[in-house]
Amino acid sequence: MPGPFPPESSPSRVGFGADVASAADALIRQPSVPLVSLALVLFPGDTSRSGDHSAVATLLITAATFTDMLFYAGWLGAERVFFQRRLEGKPVSLPHLLRLVKPFVSRFLVLGVFFGIVFLSSFFALADILGMDITHLPDTAAQLPFSFQVWIAVLAIVTDFSLTFVTPALAYTTRSAVRSVGIGFAMIGQTWPRSALYVLCPPLALNLLNYIFPVGGLALQLLLTSVVTLVGLLAKGAIAAFYLRERGSYSEDGAAYRVPPDRRRPPLAHLNEAPTVSP
């Protein structure tokens, strides 16, 4: 891949710890990126108390929440491009990252819907096995059994592990959500055990568990969500560094756009497959 990595990511300092430190340095040097991530995650789009608002206010809140969700889906790809640019020592402005949101939205939405269906199907299947009636829990304010919470935690962690290299594949290598799943799953097998620390770092699982099983009052929830989001960004940066060393990237903006052949990155020498953008 053209352009050497900076000293903190050079071969003499390659490793999970060095990659986390590199991600932290990138976020500190450009705090606008973590601030956008925090703003999107902390957006107060709760309509559970819709009775406290007028119909118009509820509609506006719902529309704003949906817009926030769409923007966040695209921002997941822009975050990866940010880490790529920082690793290559190339500056990238916040306006440029914001422009990258649009081309990433649809593919990350498709990926999210796919894994959301898988997760929810497993959720309801587990409830059925345990003889639980999930549909009436909100009405009765009943507490989820501890055994059920444990199984959901395991499911969230397994989902997180499996997605480790799927999301960077969707940002750096392909526009196809389906193909990114194949690339991500295969990469775990191809790089194990070198990739163990990257795979076993569970930022997504922490986010899922924090959302499904909120702890404490509003202030504590906001604090935990902020911490989990920042930890997740560090993990994303470390995973991005590992992925880019192994597979490279389609272009300086990842796989955000189709680019002419003369602007595409050449494949890394040890790869069996060049980074190409799928239809």
Q: pLDDT means per 10 residues in the chain (279 residues)?
A: 41 77 97 97 67 76 92 97 95 96 97 91 84 63 72 84 95 95 96 93 67 72 88 94 93 85 54 44
Q: Say how far apart CA 122 and CA 152 lie, in whole Å.
A: 9
Q: Is residue 151 part of a domain?
A: yes
What is the pLDDT, as a whole number, of residue 164?
A: 94
Task: List all residues 6 or more positions away from 81 whose beta carbon is below 8 Å from its beta carbon.
Answer: 92, 97, 100, 171, 253, 254, 256
274 domain residue, yes or no: no
What does pTM read for this prediction? 0.82
Cα 79 to Cα 17, 25, 180, distances in angstroms: 20, 14, 17
One-letter amino acid at 32 equals S
Q: How far apart are the first and last CA of the chain?
A: 22
Q: Does 271 map to a domain? A: no
Task: Find the domain containing 214 and state its range.
Answer: 7-263
**Is 279 inside any structural domain?**
no
- Of 269, 268, 261, 262, which Cα lies nearest the Cα of 277? 261
Q: Quick check: is 94 in a domain?
A: yes
* Domain presence at residue 1: no
Tally of domains in the chain:
1
The pLDDT of residue 2 is 38
Looking at this protein, which amino acid is placed at residue 257? Y
**Nearest by Cα to 33 from 249, 232, 242:** 232
Of 39, 13, 29, the closest CA to residue 238 belongs to 13
Which residues have C-beta within 8 Å of that of residue 169, sequence separation ≥ 6?
Answer: 179, 180, 183, 184, 187, 243, 247
In a domain, 41, yes or no: yes
Q: What is the 3-state secondary structure (H, E, C) of 69-106?
A: HHHHHHHHHHHHHHHHHHHCCCCCCHHHHHHHHHHHHH
**40 lies in a domain?**
yes
C-alpha distance from residue 149 to each of 127, 144, 224 (Å): 10, 7, 18
Instruction: Identify the CA nearest to 163 among candidates 194, 190, 200.
Output: 200
Q: Could you give phi then psi for residue 128, rounded to 5 degrees?
A: -65, -40
How far apart are alpha carbons 266 and 262 in whole angstroms?
9
State residue 125's pLDDT score: 86
Looking at residue 53, what is its pLDDT? 64
Residue 57 pLDDT: 82
